[in-house]
Structure 1
Amino acid sequence: MQITLIFPPSWIPSQPFLSLPSLQGFLKKEGIHDVSIRDLNIEVMDTLLSKKRVEDTYVKVNERIRRGGKSFGNDTDNSGETERIEWVKEVIEFENMFQKVEWAKATLKSEGFYDINDYVESWKIIDRWLQAYGMLYYPSEITITDNSMKYSVYSSSDIIKAADDENENPYRDLFQGHILDSIVKDGPSLVGISVTATSQVMPAFTLARLLKERNKDTHITMGGSVFTKLIDNLKGPHKLFELVDSFIVFEGEHALLNLIEQLDGKKDFSKVPNLVYRDGNKTRVNEPFHIEDINSLPTPEYYGFPFESYLSPMRVLPLQSSRGCYWRKCTFCNLHIDNLRFRLRNLDLVLEDIEKLKEEYGTRYMFFSDECMPVKQLDNLSLRLIEEGNDVKWMAGVRFDRGLTKDIIQKARDAGCLKMVYGLESSNKRILSLMEKGIETETIKSIIGYCLDSGVAIHMYIIVGFPSETREEALETLDFIRSNDGFIKSRGASCLPCLFELEKYAPIMRDPGKYGLTKIAHPKRDDMSLGYFYETNKGMTPDEACNVYGYVKRNR
């Protein structure tokens, strides 16, 4: 039987995501060879950023202007539609999108990526073009890493409506034609769709709808961290089973293997670990949940991904030296839900992974996608790479751990580490304590200094609006970053502010009163909610935090 695994839009377009290559490598190790993987995120983006797509859109725009602004099959009176479509025509014509879109895409794949002016201009062009393209499906929007519609990704009723909406859902058009035909022609008995972020929800279920319209007998399963956090929500006669046959929660390797075996055999889905499925009138959740032995897993296999399409001058491949988070205490974070237990991969296997990926895919660039690599693992990895003369270049996510010394960071740099990704979140002592980050501001300053001295670039995430945080405390973090002249001027430095969201299963929910949280709720229609609206009697209100977040984002 043929198995097709799909990673849908919208996601970062600069490198592949690890989920499908990990599954493909495992299945082939277990003797399942009729498996293919598709990164529709980059396939769709590559199609969107093409001269042909601009030309096709221009033809559609002129036809809709001729029809008074109305889309085909839509004769309703949409106020402002003509003006919007005429604006799209102006953008295409007067901003020369016919040539500029291809230039921007080519620049990001070449040495022009490293020219800051060309880099910024390329993203401006892409943002502008996607804004214009999205107008054809107004009020829906498409950005480089996200999408939005009038429908809520947290409502199953809305998801179904969106999947059927031919006028406002751009993904129905984007998937129709080559992409859908190329999937169906292989005749897959099983299609697995990996959904790691809410930005992928609408495209994923749209694709599922279109595939079911072509062949209702194709078994469609969805997996990924989004559904792991929705296990309780999926119980009962859930509407989403109209579009898919099953969900895989937590880790997927053995679950997918067993699902394939049952589809090819007795179809006894009770034997499939981590599976959520309909059994007559009941929804079954197969427990206990299986935890993978990551030292028995093979090297990821990326065959099937279009490497030439990613918006990066270098081929960068993700891999892991661990699963889960060894800290697991941050009160705002629910990533600990995705992995039931923290596990380290044997360092000999990690080094074997690196060598295989280098040899098979012709690249020296790796990204360790661990939640946070433990200091000892980082140090030992660096030592082994140096001893073996490995010329790999890499980056990794780490904590501002006080065990991260100057010598360890210098060793990592000598071993090829180009960048470290940190969760700063805040520089304020009180907020750091409430977050239970387990770090001190002085430790943060020291580690930043060690990185700068060693030539390791730094990326930092910060959170604005943590409950009880005041405007002054949020701006203190902004000042902490901006006042560090060495960081600001360093090569490859970056910082991404995030607005606090009260997420399902975050430890903060164990004692919301401690943080001044009141009136925690979510809309009744949101049966797929991953978080909550809230009010607070301390610090900034959510609206005030949103305003400060905007200020920080503009001035970081």
Structure 2
Amino acid sequence: MKILLVTPPLTQLNTPYPATCHLLGFLRSKGVDAEQMDLSIELIQTLFTSKNLKAIFEKAGALPKLSKQNKIMLQQADFYIQTIDPVMRFLSERDNSLAQRFSNRDFWPVNKRLPSEDDLEWGFGAIGNHDRAKHLCTLFLKDLCDFINQTIDSRFELIRYAESLCLRLPEFAPLQAELEKPLSLIDELMLEIFAKRITESKPDFVGFSIPFPGNLYSALRCAQWIKTNSQNTKIIFGGGYINTELRDLTDPTIFNYIDFITFDDGELPLLRLLTGGEFIRTFYRDSSGIIVRANFESKENIKFSESGTADYDGLLQNNYINLIELTNPMHALWSNGRWNKMMLAHGCYWGKCAFCDGSLDYIGRYEAAPIELIVDRMEAIMQQTGQSGFHFVDEAAPPALLRKLAEEILRRKITVSYWTNVRFEKSFTPELCYILSQSGCIAISGGLEVASPRILKLINKGITIETARESMKNFAEVGIMTHAYLMYGFPTETEKETIESLEVVRNLFEEGYIQSAFWHRYAMTIHSPSGQQPETVGAKHIDTDKGSFANNEIPFTTSHEIDLDFYGKGLNLATYNYMNGAGYDIEVRKWFK
């Protein structure tokens, strides 16, 4: 039996999303004939060519009405068509000689995104031409994405596809209605690439990893094609979106498009499907049209230490592109650089935060492996990819494990760069931060969440503002950049506490203890402690009918309601300025005028 593992459009474009790589490594270690493709980057590389841009501009030019901005872009179509191929070569680092030309502000047409010379000088200085050119090329692509979204396909965004359609989808019918519509130009390009691969590979199974809502529509479009053109091929869905949203699925309609849905870690469910073993954590539709939930509650899993080394075979030829949307160097790590993605440990060693999906396996089952094995995997991946940068995508990397990692890297005398997610706890002493820096740690991200002592205690974060500040300070003093995850709208949070949280964040930026931050709006989920026991955080569920398709977010009320749209705008505007080194002297209340 042969399986093709697919990452459907669209995910980040600078590096492979890790799911299929890890599954491929495991399945091949068990003797399974497996391949993978990143349909996301392949679509972008096909879309952003002079040939296809010409077709897009011609189609847009036939529309009866265009906005003023889109009319201007249509008038500049020749520039975009002749420039797109060199831009894509440069962003994929196949032609770095273009940096000098692309870093010149005068090269680009004037538009709403084009920054001033002063802003460029502030962000990149006199010799940062390569990153400056990446930034301007990124803005060029974003302008094109806006044009495509507003004229050709309203579902299209640079790293998402039809996300708004699938964000909250309690019933399958709206998505089914979209799937019954004629193909868009983007759909046609995607299916042309996909069909060619299926024809060449001839897999018995195709497994789609669906990490985000923005991957679901495109995966189903591909599944449609298989059902029409390759009826003997079985289709499997799995991934992060599936694990959080479809656990209570009761509408069998999706099985008109697919054959199986697997949950939680995919290694064992896929192995059983492919080798004829007993199904585990797998949904399928039986002959009477009923959904069968095969061994859904089973806790049996492949040990983390036995899950194998990620395999990038099939992805190394892809021209991933590096993007810099903001001049902030910490923010750029998510989109700039081809990072090898790994986990130091499975799950979260804390696992108690009230807002987090701690009841799900990917968080709730903490399991580590010997650090020697982890570094062996790092060295094997470096040998395969030729890249020495690593992003450890742990829920939270334990300080003790990071110490062992750093010591093993130093012992082996290997040169790497890495970054990961942590909890801002007191264990990150100056001495530990120094060792991490010496071993190659360049950045960390972590959840400060709500910078309010009362709310931090309510969400059971297990840290204080003081300990978080101290650990951030220790990271900063050894040159490790820090990104803070922040939250607003937690039940019972007051306007005063929201504003005071921003003041804490302003101070952290001004002191240089954090370089980047992002505010997430709190959502109550069915898998979190706050969702399962809302009264413990001062909230109450709003009674609604349970959806037959996707179920994750729970509507709720709380004793103290604030205008979250209003405060969210102020928080994000202030933090955007802080990330660009501005606005520290503005009193925080003024951001909410």
Asked if 1:8 corresponds to 2:15, the answer is no
Q: Secondary structure at the match of 2:215?
A: helix
Matched, 1:258 2:266: no
After superposition, the C-alpha distances for 1:406-464 in whole angstroms (9 at most, x for unaligned) are 11111011011111111121221112111111001111111111111111111221112
Q: Read off the aligned partner of 1:255 and give its amino acid letter.
A: P
- Alignment of 1:424 onto 2:448: yes
Answer yes or no: is the 8 Å Cα contact 2:265–2:301 preserved in 1: yes
Q: What amino acid is aligned across from residue 22 of structure 1 in structure 2?
A: H
Answer yes or no: is the 8 Å Cα contact 1:325–1:336 preserved in 2: no
* CA shift in 2, pair 1:549/1:521, >3 Å: farther
- Matched to 2:439, the amino acid is A
**Worse-superposed segment, 372-381 or 530-539:** 530-539
Residue from 75, 79, 87 that aligns with 1:93: 75
* Range with greater deviation from structure 2 (240-249 or 358-367): 358-367
Residue matched to 1:36: 35
1:103-252 alignment runs, 5 A limit: 104-110=87-93, 117-137=132-152, 139-145=154-160, 147-148=162-163, 154=169, 155-166=171-182, 171-234=186-249, 236-252=250-266
Relative to structure 1, the CA distance from residue 244 to residue 441 in structure 2 (aligned partners, 3 Å threshold; closer, same or farther) is: same
**SS state of the match for residue 410, structure 1?**
helix
Is 1:283 matched up with 2:291? Answer: yes
1:454-484 superposed Cα distances (whole Å, 9 cap, x missing partner)? 1111122111222222233223333323323
Does structure 1 residue 272 correspond to structure 2 residue 300?
no
Residues 1:515 and 2:537 aligned together: yes
Distance 1:527 1:139, change over 3 A: same
Cα offset for 1:308?
4.6
C-alpha separation in 2, matches of 1:194 and 1:40: 11
Report whether the alignment pairs 1:468 with 2:499.
no
Instruction: Quote the residue 1:266 is aligned against.
Output: none
Separation in 2, partners of 1:483, 1:146:
37
8 Å CA contact retained: 2:166, 2:216: no
The reply on whether 1:328 has 2:343 as its aligned counterpart is no
Conserved 8 A contact 2:428-2:474: no
Distance between the aligned counterparts of 1:323 and 1:359, measured in 2?
Answer: 24
Matched residue type, 1:247 = I
What code does the residue aligned with 1:277 have? Y
Q: Distance in 1 between matches of 2:165 and 2:306?
A: 44
Residues 59-70 of structure 1 mapped to structure 2, 5 A cutoff: 59-62=58-61, 65=62, 69=63
For residues 523-549 of structure 1, the C-alpha deviation after alignment (integer angstroms, 9 at most, x for no partner) is 766731321233332142444454445
Question: How big is the shift at 1:345?
Answer: 1.6
Shift of 1:123: 2.7
- Which stretch of structure 1 is more off in the superposition, 389-398 or 103-112? 103-112
C-alpha deviation, 1:150, in angstroms: 5.4
2:267 maps to amino acid: E
Change (3 A) 1:337 1:277: same
Q: Is the 8 A contact 2:14 2:337 kept in 1?
A: no
In the TM superposition, what whole-angstrom CA distance separates every residue of 1:196-243 from its partner, at most 9, and x where no partner exists? 111211112122112212122211000112222345422x45211111
Deviations 1:278-325 (A, max 9, x none): 222232222224222011122110111145522236432111111111
CA-CA distance at 1:51 after TM superposition: 2.5
CA–CA distance in 2 between the matches of 1:481 and 1:307? Answer: 42
How big is the alpha-carbon RMSD for the aligned residues of Structure 1 and Structure 2? Answer: 2.6
The two structures have a TM-score, normalised by structure 1, of 0.87
Distance between the aligned counterparts of 1:550 and 1:448, measured in 2? 21
Corresponding residue number in structure 1 for 2:582: none
Q: Does 1:378 align with 2:395?
A: no
Question: Is the Cα contact below 8 Å between 1:429 and 1:441 reproduced in 2?
Answer: yes
1:301 to 301, 311, 334: 311
More displaced stretch, 302-311 vs 12-21 = 302-311
CA distance, structure 2, for counterparts of residue 179 and residue 39 of structure 1? 10
8 A contact 2:476–2:512 mirrored in 1: no
User: Counterpart of 1:495 in 2: which secondary structure?
Assistant: strand
Structure 2: how far apart are the matches of 1:286 and 1:516? Answer: 37
What is the percent sequence identity of the aligned residues? 21
Structure 2 Cα separation of the partners of residues 550 and 414 of structure 1 = 34
* 3-state secondary structure, aligned to 1:84: coil
- Number of corresponding residues: 527
Which structure 2 residue ranges, 5 or more long, are not aligned? Answer: 100-123, 323-335, 579-593
Q: Is the 1:519–1:535 contact (alpha carbons within 8 Å) kept by the matching residues of 2?
A: yes
One-letter amino acid matched to 1:315: R
Question: Could you tell me how far apart the structure 2 residues matched to 1:99 and 1:338 are?
Answer: 49
Letter in 2 for 1:157: A
| Counterparts of 1:450 and 1:99, CA distance in 2 | 49
Q: AA paired with 1:163?
A: L
Q: Secondary structure at the match of 2:542?
A: strand
Query: Partner amino acid for 2:294?
Result: N
1:102 is displaced (CA, Å) by: 4.2
Shift of the 218–89 alpha-carbon distance from structure 1 to 2, 3 Å rule, reads: farther
Note closer, same or farther for the CA distance 1:165–1:475 as it changes in structure 2 (3 Å cut).
farther
In 2, Cα distance between equivalents of 1:522 and 1:135: 34
User: CA shift at 1:138, angstroms?
Assistant: 5.1
User: Pick from 297, 317, 321: which aligns with 1:311?
Assistant: 321
Partners in 1 of 2:429 and 2:15 — Cα distance? 30
Instruction: Return the alpha-carbon distance in structure 2 between the equivalents of residues 196 and 522 of structure 1.
Output: 26
> Take 1:258 and 1:322, find their aligned partners in 2: how far apart are those partners?
24
Change (3 A) 1:546 1:214: farther
Task: Letter of the 1:466 partner, please give it.
Answer: F
1:89/1:257 CA distance change after superposition, 3 Å: farther
Note the 1:387-402 alignment, pairs <5 A. 387-402=411-426
* C-alpha spacing 1:258/1:333, structure 2 compared with 1 (3 Å): same
Deviation at 1:338, TM superposition (A): 3.7
2:110 aligns with none
By relative contact order (CA 8 Å, sep 6+), the higher-ranking structure is 2
**Would the aligned equivalents of 2:312 and 2:384 in 1 still touch at CA under 8 Å?**
no
Pair 530,477 (structure 1): closer, same or farther in 2 beyond 3 Å: same
**Aligned residue for 2:502?**
478
Separation in 1 of the partners of 2:218 and 2:543?
A: 27
> Equivalents in 2 of 1:303, 1:325: separation in Å?
29
Q: Distance in 2 between matches of 1:153 and 1:137?
A: 24
Partner SS, residue 438 of structure 1: coil
Contact 1:162 1:206 in 2 (8 A): no
Deviates more, 1:1-10 or 1:464-473: 464-473
Q: Which moved more, 1:91-100 or 1:390-399?
A: 91-100
Name the counterpart of 2:435. 411
